[in-house]
Structure 1
Amino acid sequence: MTDKKKRELLPDVLRGFAICLVVLGHCIQEGSGEVYKLQEAYFDDRLYQLIYSFHMPLFMLVSGWLGWYSMRTTDDRREQLQILGRRVPSLLIPIFGWTALDSSRHFLMNAYYGYPHAGLGQGLLQYIVNSLENLWFLWAVFWCFLIVWCMHYWFHDALWLYIVGFLMMFFIPDGLGLGAYKYMLPFYIIAFYFHEGMAERYNKEDAISRLCKMICNVYEQAPIVLTLAAGLVWILLFAAFFNQDAFIYLTGYKLLGKDITRQLAIDGYRFIIGLSGSCFVILLWKDILQQRKGYGFPVFSCLGRNSMGIYIVSGYVIMLGIAEFTQGIEPSYAVNLAEMLIVLLVSTGFTEIIGQIPAIGRLVGK
């Protein structure tokens, strides 16, 4: 099997591994008993913390890596808009579609129990707000893709404009998920610009171009010591400093109204531990796949190909199933692992079935 084919196995395997972590984290949060959930004890759970130290940055790095394939070198404005037109619906249709299903479910439940209905205007406003808050990671990918698309085609990847943009993000409010989107953006940008294909198409010899080429070469030839070093940095940072402040949901991203030095330290720590943990996992899986002579892991590859659908459907399986049936239990990792396997099996099966139906397949990313 050629090196190119081996490399193509890696994104799906990484997404498959990452979606397992996503589901396990949600099972720890929702499937460890009602008392555990109400007390938000999961924020102090070390396994939960370990997962959340890097799993979403890992997903965003893979998204940025794959995002490079979507943006070909073209000066034709029509083709550029076609690229945007293909990617945007694949992210927004699931968001607005599942929010519509949620709204319909709530409407029917209110009708069944005789609760009063909201007026048309209020209902529409609530639908828009719910859509903006629903499936936050898809929104993050959407905004990251849109920003990089604009920078790539309209501003020729201007470094100074990226720097200005990052400085401005510290002063933009964190509401409606913006804090998480700002946290995710650097990972998408890093993976997009350091994709090995980016170095191949660079004909310039400026500092940024040379840096891209150097990092891509290091990635291709990375010795095992580099993998171990990334893992060591990640574990040491986690063991020494990770606490509730590291959760983007709790401390946000902006600087306004906060202790600036402390918030900058939190934002910087979050980025470094997310990047080091993700690099360790990426390099480790790359080494494993190389040792297997390019033969992948079919289960992880299958989960990776269905990761968007699993991300969406698993939320409903956990909320309507796992959380309801585990209210009285005590926290147990063994139970959480069993829950994860059940959720993955059900969500993957549902995604595969729905994906075969042309009219609604896009709801699960097909």
Structure 2
Amino acid sequence: MVGENSLETRGETFFLNLRFMLIITVFAGNAIEPLINKMSGIHGLYMWIFSFHMPLFVLVTGYFARKSLAGTTGRKMLLQIGLQYLIFQSLYSALDISLFHVSNIQHSIFAPYLLLWFLASHACWRLLMLGMSRWSITAKLLFAVTAGVAVGYLQLDGVWFSISRTFVYLPFFIIGYHFSFETFVKLYQKYIKIFAAAASILLLAVMAAWGAGFPFGWLYGSMTYMQLDANVWYAGVYRLGLYGLQIVASLAFLGLVPYGASRMTDWGRRTLYVFLLHGFIVRLAAVSGIYTYIGNAAGAVVLLLTAVLFTVLLAQPSVKRLFHPLVEPSVDWMITLQRAALRRTL
């Protein structure tokens, strides 16, 4: 029993470390996006980040969801995700219209604002997992991969309701939910872990050298085949190939993640704050005109270091204390209203 608890603690520590490392890549990826067509090295770094960071973030979310999927806790989580979505969808849209004056964005409650797709999809993944609760792992994965390929054939904009990313990344949520840390630790012994880490660095070098012509739309997961100009019957094969790339890139990146607890582990407990708040900083930087002054490697390095610094700052306990009502709003009042309504109907 002690060994099981120790293994569970080690697994939580590992995934908190991974979660913080991933939120750094999220912030960094969004920060360097305006530079990807100006610098080949940045283009390669951006492609490397997108080859694993969303699949792994979904996997981590699935891993932590297994403690709060069903029952009262699961219902509260769904309500909170919905409330978070409404709050930040309204805030980002209002600021885009009034302050940032950003065009070419669908300001609709049914079209998640940029990074907020993750909240909409997270709620859907939880509901889908509840619906598949009696299925075997194999059946869940077969359905998820089939749906991830099939959703691309829809003749619509995949952004609406986050329908494309919900099904494209569903396999990774299922893998995370059923993830066996014990098996992972047995596999990722010292030399395997070193090999995986080296493979991740090698993949970065390869993408920097030869990834210039790769269409990013495939890595985003938000577009249907119609939007990707892949109007052929076998377009789904491309997505299967992309799944292969994402799995390889993800397994390689896991070699870089430490097992031991550190300050980074604590920061990993507050990545939600970084995720929901960093978009304001990125948007402010974009409209400030600062990118016109970044034209060389030194400027790009400073930008990346600044993104890491802001990630650490937003993961501090003081930020949580200040923004807790906004980022993790209480839903007790909603549950009280539900119960009252139920009593009236009975």
C-alpha spacing 1:97/1:41, structure 2 compared with 1 (3 Å): farther
**1:51 deviation in Å?**
1.2
When the two chains are superposed, the root-mean-square deviation of aligned CA atoms in Å is: 3.8
Contact 1:231 1:277 in 2 (8 A): no
Distance in 2 of aligned mates of 1:265 and 1:232: 28
**1:340 deviation in Å?**
0.7
* Partner in structure 2 of residue 245 of structure 1: 215
Larger relative contact order (C-alpha < 8 A, sep ≥ 6)?
1
**1:16 deviation in Å?**
0.6
| Residue 278 (1) aligns with residue 245 (2) | no
Contact 1:27 1:340 in 2 (8 A): yes
**1:270 deviation in Å?**
2.3
| Residue 10 (1) aligns with residue 8 (2) | no
- 3-state secondary structure, aligned to 2:293: coil
Instruction: Report % sequence identity.
Output: 16
Give the letter aligned to residue 89 of structure 2: T
**1:326 deviation in Å?**
0.8
* Partner in structure 1 of residue 129 of structure 2: 148
Distance in 1 of aligned mates of 2:323 and 2:198: 40
Contact 2:152 2:236 in 1 (8 A): no
Q: What does 1:1-366 correspond to in 2, within 5 Å?
A: 2-30=6-34, 36=35, 45-71=43-69, 80-105=70-95, 126-129=107-110, 131=112, 135-153=116-134, 159=139, 161-162=143-144, 165-166=147-148, 168-172=150-154, 173=156, 174-176=158-160, 177-196=162-181, 217=183, 219-228=185-194, 230-231=196-197, 239=206, 242=211, 243-248=213-218, 254-255=224-225, 258-260=230-232, 263-285=235-257, 288-289=258-259, 294=260, 296-298=261-263, 300-321=264-285, 323-324=287-288, 326-331=290-295, 332-349=299-316, 351-356=319-324, 359-362=325-328
CA deviation vs aligned residue, 1:162-189 (integer Å, no higher than 9, x gap): 5664554343342323333332111111
Give the letter aligned to residue 17 of structure 1: M
> Structure 2 stretches of 5 or more lacking a match?
332-346
C-alpha spacing 1:18/1:355, structure 2 compared with 1 (3 Å): same
Distance in 2 of aligned mates of 1:230 and 1:165: 29
C-alpha spacing 1:259/1:58, structure 2 compared with 1 (3 Å): same
Give the letter aligned to residue 279 of structure 2: G
**TM-score using structure 1 length:** 0.69
Distance in 1 of aligned mates of 2:330 and 2:201: 34
**1:330 deviation in Å?**
2.4
Contact 2:28 2:304 in 1 (8 A): yes
The count of corresponding residues between Structure 1 and Structure 2 is: 308
Contact 2:152 2:224 in 1 (8 A): yes
Distance in 2 of aligned mates of 1:250 and 1:61: 16
